[in-house]
A and B are shown apart, each in its own frame.
Chain A
Amino acid sequence: MKHWTQRETLAGGTVSPDSVQDEMTSAQSSMTALDRSQLPAACVDATRLKDYATHRVYSEIPWNTTGEQAAVVDTTTPLNNFAAFTYQKYSSGWVTVATTTLTAFKGGHLLAEWSGNAYVYPASTQVLLANVESVPRYVRLRILVAGRVLVECLGPASHEAFRVFGAGIFEQGDLSVEAQVRLTDTTYDDIVQDTTPEPVCQAHVYSMRFLAIGRWR
């Protein structure tokens, strides 16, 4: 704790340079270096802070215009299928299905969550030539922030909702965010079309929403 007073002036005492100097220095030191121990508790509320002083919430709903992935869309599927991923259109690998930018992220802790619904066609789960009991079909999901993986998961294996969230420490700046999906790769034995023949939808992601909270205090 800093001293506010160095000496007590007494009647009849002598004035030396230090007697004034020490007092001034002490007061100046306290005044020019106020810290948490010298500020009153509970003195800061929203009205005393500039916008984004402590945190910032980023929101995208729907995410990606309609909330549907539009990266791989096959419009020739049967009418009772989604116009979405087919193995005729999707080859392999991670596909970016939604993006956003965390503008003016000040550097610090980031929590990001991506939620929505996903569909996977499971009919080809136990194929003959895979030489294994089963090849479960998933829509794998991951979030990239500034090009780095924040969170990755196996993802849905049927027609169901998902919520993927992760947290990390990130540098300041305008951070790019990418939501990516990856299907289980096809095998020689998969069902890829019906009798028409029309390509069968293998997967879709929709109702996408994104929320992120950056905290820098």
Chain B
Amino acid sequence: MSRINRARIVDGDQTTAASLNDRFDDFTQANEVDQFNLRDSAVDLPQFKKSPKFQAPFVQTDVLGKSDMLHAAPVSVGATGSTPYSSPHVIQDGAANPTIASYGASGLTLSAGEVLRIYWSLSVRADLTNSPWDDGFQFNAIAGTGGGGNTDVSTSAGCFVAWLQWDVTSNGLTNWTEVPGQSDFKTTLGSFHGSSLQLCQATTVIPLWSYWLRNLNNGDSSAGTSVETKAAGWRGISGAWHYEALGTPTIFGLRVVLLGVMHPRRISAGAANTLVLDVGPAADVDLEYTGGRLVTFVNRMK
């Protein structure tokens, strides 16, 4: 302990060299400025270095998609008609230029004890024709006692998926792979291709439609009911993903890709939940999008 604690000088004390030196030595002992000698508020914002930032050492915002607030001419993505698919749609600016986050020639190197946080948004709309809810395996037969008999009632689970890819190889940005914890939806699952839900950690699901029955009576799909459907209109979707650095990976780029139409599927009773590509509705489904943002944060964990 280095707190200075020496009796006061009072009348009658002798002023000697030793007594004065002792008092001055009090201020020269090792570690005199320690936790006892700093007030509780001694360290505050002015004392923190601004560069390099150590709580959030890196922040970057990039534009995604096409800047088109009025949705005058959105980018359109057709649903995939064959499985497995060849390549997903990369979010672009409407002129076939991919919109990605690029971290420069030397990339963004994460250190141990840092967490990468990615947040992105996009304006999207389902563009539907005919009745995609009746295609593929988008429905279940529900009992009906009315004139229509049993009805194929859509699960409304048909969706597009958006997920993150990164390039951790070079600034050439030609080696895109799925981020950790994320599948490419090409895994063979019985007669389908998709991904277990466990490997959808960087996936954002985009709804396509809602299907419901008006005046549904006691679960009967046809007695006095009528089918109502609604395509998913313009809406803001978003994604959030984070990654605790293992080792010191260098990231050169990051992008968002799209694929659809996906639907829940289990390959057998008791098997894991998955999302697989359903090519049935492909001819009737497009996804339109305009603009958004992708924000990259790096935070120190401690």
Contact = CB atoms under 8 A, between A and B. Distances in A.
B206 A44 contact: no
Nearest to B153: A123
B238 A42 contact: no
Contacts of A126: 212-216, 228
A33 B140 contact: no
A211 interface: yes
Interface string B6-47: 001111010100001001001100001100111101111011
A129 B47 CA distance: 66
Contacts of A192: 219
Interface residues of A, number: 79
B212 A207 contact: no
A129 B300 CA distance: 55
Residue of A52, A122, A160 ringed by the most chain B CB atoms within 10 A? A122
A82 interface: yes
A17 B10 contact: yes
A11 B104 CA distance: 67
A209 B212 contact: no
A9 interface: no
Contact of B218 (A44, A61, A188, A213): A188
Interface in B248-302: 263-270, 273, 299-302
B273 A206 contact: yes
A161 B200 contact: no
Contact of B49 (A21, A39, A45, A204): A45
Interface stretch (B59-67, B77-85, B86-94, B239-247): B239-247
Contact of B156 (A123, A204, A213): A123
Contacts of A78: 140
A3 interface: no
A34 B37 contact: yes
A80 B204 CA distance: 20
Interface of B: 3-4, 8-11, 13, 15, 20, 23, 26-27, 32-33, 36-39, 41-44, 46-50, 52, 54-55, 115, 117, 137-138, 140-143, 150, 153-159, 181, 196-198, 200-201, 203-207, 210-219, 221, 224, 228, 232, 237-244, 263-270, 273, 299-302
Which 7 A-B residue pairings sit nearest by Cβ, starting from the closest?
A: A46-B54, A158-B207, A66-B198, A115-B240, A125-B212, A161-B204, A51-B302
